[in-house]
Chain A
Amino acid sequence: MEYLIAAYTVIILGLIGYIAWLLRQKLLLRRELAVLEVQRKSERTPPPVPF
């Protein structure tokens, strides 16, 4: 029975760990992309013209 528990624990934790790592990567990349897009927009916006 202990081998059965060990095998299913390894498989389930392995899959959950990989999924968590994927979702974390996705979240971090979305944040990074949001920052980069704001930077890109601010670069494109021309400075205010003085009167």
Chain B
Amino acid sequence: MALRSQSLTTAPGVTERRPSPGSSRGVGDWLFTGVTTALMLVALWMALIWAPTEAVQGAPQRIVYFHVGTAWVAFLAFFVVCVASVMFLIRGTPVWDRVARSSAEIGVVYTTLVLIGGAIWGKPIWGTWWSWDPRLTTTLILWFIYIGYLMLRAYVGNDNQRARFAAVVGIVGFVDVPIVYYSVEWWRSLHPVQSIVRGQTTWEMTVTTILATIAFTVLYAWMLRQKLQIERLRDRAAQLQPAEGQE
């Protein structure tokens, strides 16, 4: 794949403009933030109050609504890393590298929450915080892969080399996502199967899970937007920094 050797910073002369509160971009930002907050609050209310208490598991089953939402976003974030990495290797444009590194960080945050939330659900239901079950183990491997991705980004000095190495890890690392998803079907697992997909829940539970998943997806988009703005600002600041020895 041909790679164009170009600087991974914003084009010269392009400045980050802060939207004024009255501008359409400023209003759009506030609207996006408002819709995201409202969706998250509705999802929280449905998960904790509106949805019925499950007969066997009791209250801890309500953890599943946010657990499924966070797990979905973790998968989505790593999918975006994979697509952006492929696009970066094909086109060599810095924007794809920015999307990949932003999405990877968010994916790691969500995977951490999936692992912690899952462990807290596991204690009352399985009687243990952790089990070397296929689903849990492959999720932990996924977390390590993307922690490695972020470490690689932090330690490789050359901009172009760092972006190319990271893109390869971002693509190869995504192989673990379908393994995590299908692990409950491929191996004997303690972890519940996809009960929503198989229609094993009441309609209130299904609606709550779907709405929580939508709310987390919108929150992911909001976070990605914030992170992309930060990366653009960081690139611009790096460009404006006086070169060493010039001060």
Q: Give the interface of A toward B (CB within 8 A).
A: 1, 3-4, 6-8, 10-12, 14-15, 18-19, 22-23, 25-26, 29-30, 32-33, 36-37, 39-40
Contacts and interface: CB of A to CB of B under 8 A. Distances in A.
Contacts, number: 78
Interface of B: 15-16, 18, 44, 48, 59-60, 62-63, 66-67, 70, 109, 112-113, 116-117, 120-121, 123-124, 219, 223, 226-227, 229-230, 233-234, 236-237, 240-242
Contacts of B60: 3-4, 7
A29 B237 contact: yes
Contact of B63 (A4, A25, A32, A39): A4
Secondary structure class of chain A's binding surface, majority of residues = helix
A22 B230 contact: yes
- For the complex of A and B, list the 4 residue pairs with the smallest distance between their C-beta atoms, beginning with the closest: A36-B240, A29-B233, A7-B120, A7-B63
B109 A18 contact: yes
Contacts of A37: 15, 240
Contacts of A4: 48, 59-60, 62-63
Chain B, interface SS category: helix
Given A11-B117, A15-B113, A18-B223, A33 B233 contact: yes
26 contacts: A1-B59, A3-B123, A4-B59, A4-B62, A7-B60, A7-B63, A7-B67, A7-B120, A8-B44, A8-B48, A10-B113, A10-B117, A11-B66, A11-B116, A12-B44, A14-B112, A15-B109, A15-B219, A19-B223, A22-B230, A29-B233, A29-B237, A32-B237, A36-B237, A36-B240, A39-B240
